Amino acid sequence: MRVQPVEHGALQALNAVLQSIESVRNARALYLLMLAFASASLLMTLAQGALARESAVAAALWLAAAFFSLFYASNAAGLVLMDEACGREPRLPAEALRDALRTAHRLLAVVLCVLLAAALLLAVVLGLLWATRLPGVGPSLLGVVVAVGVPALGLAGVALLALVGPLAAPAMWAGLGVRQTLRLLLQQVRRRFAHALMLSAAVSLLTATVAGLVSVVVLAGARALLALAVGVLGIDLAPQPLLAALFGQGLRVAPGAPAMSAATQSALTGAGLVFALGLVVPGVVYLRGLCELFLALRRSDDETPGP
């Protein structure tokens, strides 16, 4: 077997995934993902308020609105990033939102088909386990079920988390239909399962690295700002609420606790914006990495002759 050149092999795919960090300069994708998180957060707040009023129907409607807002706006960001990954001029945010509303529901159909297949596998394993309770053949059958069921369920779970999810969305952004996407997923599982998993792991590792760097920057900046504001200028700024807000932890005031100063309340608003920005940056890198993962696997399909 002849070894493929590096520029057409796994190293090219890995390099393309690593290049996805450049997506932090894509202002359109950042805007759309910020819109997704901000709208979903607002709707979640409204749902919490409805739950506090014991209005279950209103809370369910607000939660559904939050899901669909996050779903379609993040898919719009994915469309913009797929344009960038393919070397095209990224579409405008309004165009991306329109296209997402028109096509993103296909992803839900793909997820539903995959979940039905997973449910069928679980039903088969459950049926075999029930059969092991039969007298005579049961104990012998249990050994076979364990030997077959453990790897089958394990591989199915890994495929769902590390392959189907990361690959189905960019397939939709590239314009594939439901049947084409399902065929692509089946092809990757059959022909290059390990290769696809390694690239998916590389995307996740890169995203985690970016998120860690963002956390370090936020924490270092917060410590420096607190030292200047409190230690040097003597501003009445509470450190703990500010640090909690910078990392997305909601404010919980204990009964009887003293009210926060006006400076602290104002600082919490800015901290919420910093948290949103810190969440968007690794999110954009992850979505662009998924685009590069999809394109790398498609290139491998084009270069590999069929059976």
Minimum mean pLDDT among 9-18, 174-183, 266-275: which range? 9-18
Cβ neighbours for 66, distance < 8 A, ≥ 6 positions apart: 39, 40, 43, 44, 47
Q: Go through 28-43 and write b for each residue having 16 or more CB atoms within 10 A of its CB, e for each that does not.
A: bbbbbbbbbbbbbbeb
**Taking 90 as the threshold, does the pLDDT of residue 119 lie above it?**
yes
Q: pTM score > 0.75 for this model?
A: yes
Distance CA 271, CA 263 (A): 12
pLDDT at 298: 82
**Taking 50 as the threshold, does the pLDDT of residue 160 lie above it?**
yes
Indicate the average pLDDT of the chain: 82
Return the residue matching tokens 């913009």.
Answer: 80
Cβ neighbour number for residue 193 with a 10 Å cutoff: 15
**Taking 70 as the threshold, does the pLDDT of residue 257 lie above it?**
no
Q: Go through 9-22 and write b for each residue having 16 or more CB atoms within 10 A of its CB, e for each that does not.
A: eeebbeebbeebbe
For 71-98, how does the pLDDT look when each residue is reduced to its tens digit (9 = 90+)?
Answer: 999 999 999 999 998 888 889 999 999 9
pLDDT at 166: 85
| Mean pLDDT score, 149-156 | 89
Distance CA 291, CA 287 (A): 6
Q: Which helix (H) or strand (E) holds 120?
A: helix 105-131
Q: Which helix (H) or strand (E) holds 134?
A: none
Confidence of residue 124 (pLDDT cuts 50, 70, 90): very high
* Better pLDDT: 220 or 244: 220
Cβ neighbour number for residue 196 with a 10 Å cutoff: 25
Confidence of residue 302 (pLDDT cuts 50, 70, 90): low
Confidence of residue 6 (pLDDT cuts 50, 70, 90): very low
Q: Go through 47-76 and write b for each residue having 16 or more CB atoms within 10 A of its CB, e for each that does not.
A: beebeeeeeeeebeebbebbebbbbbbbbb
Query: Residue 206 has which token pair?
Result: 């890169």
pLDDT at 134: 80
Cβ burial, residue 6 (10 Å; 0-12/13-18/19+): exposed
Single-letter residue type at 30: L
Confidence of residue 250 (pLDDT cuts 50, 70, 90): low
| Mean pLDDT score, 231-258 | 68
Task: Enter the DSSP assignment of 253.
Answer: P
Under a CB-based contact definition with an 8 Å cutoff, are residues 100 and 69 in contact?
A: no
Distance CA 81, CA 86 (A): 9
Q: What is the number of H-type helices and E-type strands within the chain?
A: 11, 0
* Better pLDDT: 76 or 136: 76
pLDDT at 13: 66
| Mean pLDDT score, 249-256 | 52
CA-nearest of 90, 68, 66 to 77 is: 90
pLDDT at 100: 94
Minimum mean pLDDT among 72-81, 194-203, 209-218: which range? 194-203
**Taking 80 as the threshold, does the pLDDT of residue 165 lie above it?**
no
Confidence of residue 256 (pLDDT cuts 50, 70, 90): very low
**Taking 90 as the threshold, does the pLDDT of residue 222 lie above it?**
no
Return the residue matching tokens 């077997």.
Answer: 1
Number of residues that make up the chain? 307
For 14-68, how does the pLDDT look when each residue is reduced to its tens digit (9 = 90+)?
Answer: 677 777 788 888 899 999 999 998 888 888 878 888 887 878 888 899 999 999 9
